[in-house]
Amino acid sequence: MSFKKHLIISTLIRVFLIYYGEVQDSLSDVQYTDVDYRVVTDGANHVLALGSPFKRHTYRYTPLLAYLVLPNLLVHPSFGKFIFSLFDILIGVLIKWILLNCYRSNKISIETKLLKLETLNNRNKYLIKRKNEILNSNNEALPPKYIRMAEISAYCWLYNPLTMIIATRGNGDCVSCSLVLLSIYFLLKNEQTIVQYFVAGLFLGLSIHFRLYPIGFCLAFYLATQNRTLEKWNEIVRSILKPNAKQIALVLGTVVALGSTTALFYWLYGYQFIYESMLYHLVRKDTRHNFSLYFYLQYLSSTFDVTVLEKVLTFLPQLILILMLTVRYGQHRQTLAFGLFAIAFVMVTYNPVVTSQYFVWFLSLLPLCVKNFRNIGIRKAVFIPVMWFISQGGWLLPAYLLEFKGWNTFEFIWIQSIVFFFSNVLILQMLISNYDIAYNYKID
């Protein structure tokens, strides 16, 4: 089937899930609709009454999300789920576009090599013919296997049951994920103009406004716009302090988008907007719906104030890993996608609060890396997701008994949080060890 037909099928599956959710919500105590969807809808109700969405207790998102689901009150209660599902489909399309651009970028490098070879030996008829074939080809004139690989990678997202369920339950994280992918798309475009880097910065700044996690991508984006490889720390610091025109455009776009949206909503809603949508997430505790390794610690210390030292020790491991991954993979356009995936994976795994919707942060980036995994094989390809889902299931059982049966299963949840943490560490180690930039990337 064509890619368009797959888009239609994946869209119909999401529509079915939305309607199925309506039925489950009416018949079962276990609600299909995400509780956050109801919170955001209540926030939209306050906006519709010309008030602040933060009047709704536990509303801790950008006000843009409340504006986005206003049709929930004007058209249909599930309208927002359709909007989030459209962003979910957009992510699949962006995955294909980004990967096709990666292959075309490699084709352009081949053009340059052929031109140089022809200069050295202009009597080589094969080189002349090959050069003309490349220069005269259109954007779709890639070998079919590479177009197919880009589409298969997109299907990894479009048919992922976890991401489909998260979006159709009414979670808005797919909006921030799509903005991140848009920023990657413009950053890696082959034209490499100042305008495209500014636009990439705009989408990056807007994604940070929606969710704070893309802040961890900023240094990788910044380093990926340089024109050379930096091997020493003093060179990296010098590159940061002496930006080129592309880096300035990227930073300017990010600051404009993030600064303007923050200033606008601060003017409308004051300090409450800053605290609820940004600062709160730095001190947040979640003693129930939390996969985090720090879950039990938060539960035992829920009545105590968190000290600065505790916050530093909590975030220090992920900060160190993010810096190492940025330097290792963030300096090159070809490895940027895997670097961002690994950074997002670390941010989720080591975060003090981990919920199911956070998984889309790295799952939306994983399809960009599929083409570069060597020696994964069928066994590992099956083992990795099975282990990941089983470790989640082991956590969900005691969590269900706590939430719906009132059993005291906190210690069992803590044990499963440890199992889930080490499962994630093992998975990331396996993916890093099997990652090869040249595998399935070079165009013959």
Confidence of residue 406 (pLDDT cuts 50, 70, 90): confident
Q: Residue 136: its pLDDT value, please?
A: 52
Q: Residue 98: its pLDDT value, please?
A: 93
List, for residues 126-182, the tens digit of each pLDDT value.
655 655 555 555 444 667 888 888 999 999 999 999 999 999 999 989 999 999 999
Look at 86-95, 221-230, 248-257, 418-427 and tell me which has the smallest mean pLDDT. 221-230
Enumerate the domain spans of the chain: 171-283, 285-443
List, for residues 192-230, the tens digit of each pLDDT value.
789 999 999 999 999 999 999 999 999 999 988 886 666
How far is CA 377 from each of CA 341, 381, 430, 435, rounded to the nearest angstrom?
20, 6, 12, 13
The answer to whether the beta carbons of residues 256 and 201 sit under 8 Å apart is yes
Q: Residue 130: its pLDDT value, please?
A: 56
Give the mean pLDDT of 40-57. Answer: 92
Q: Residue 141: its pLDDT value, please?
A: 63
How far is CA 298 from each of CA 36, 305, 322, 351, 410, rounded to the nearest angstrom?
21, 10, 23, 12, 11
Q: Given a cut of 90, is residue 238 above it in pLDDT? A: no
The answer to whether the beta carbons of residues 52 and 46 sit under 8 Å apart is yes
Q: Which residue has 């081949």 as its token pair?
A: 110
Nearest partner of 361 among 424, 436, 282, judged by Cα: 424
Cβ-Cβ contacts under 8 Å for 235 (sequence gap 6 or more): none
Q: Residue 226: its pLDDT value, please?
A: 80
Q: Residue 38: its pLDDT value, please?
A: 92
Confidence of residue 431 (pLDDT cuts 50, 70, 90): very high
Q: Residue 25: its pLDDT value, please?
A: 86
Q: Residue 302: its pLDDT value, please?
A: 67
How far is CA 231 from each of CA 235, 288, 331, 435, rounded to the nearest angstrom?
7, 44, 10, 20
Q: Given a cut of 50, is residue 428 above it in pLDDT? A: yes
Confidence of residue 340 (pLDDT cuts 50, 70, 90): very high
Confidence of residue 381 (pLDDT cuts 50, 70, 90): confident
The answer to whether the beta carbons of residues 105 and 333 sit under 8 Å apart is yes
Q: Residue 444: its pLDDT value, please?
A: 39
Q: Residue 413: its pLDDT value, please?
A: 83
Confidence of residue 286 (pLDDT cuts 50, 70, 90): low
Q: What is the pTM of this model?
A: 0.88
Q: Residue 126: its pLDDT value, please?
A: 60
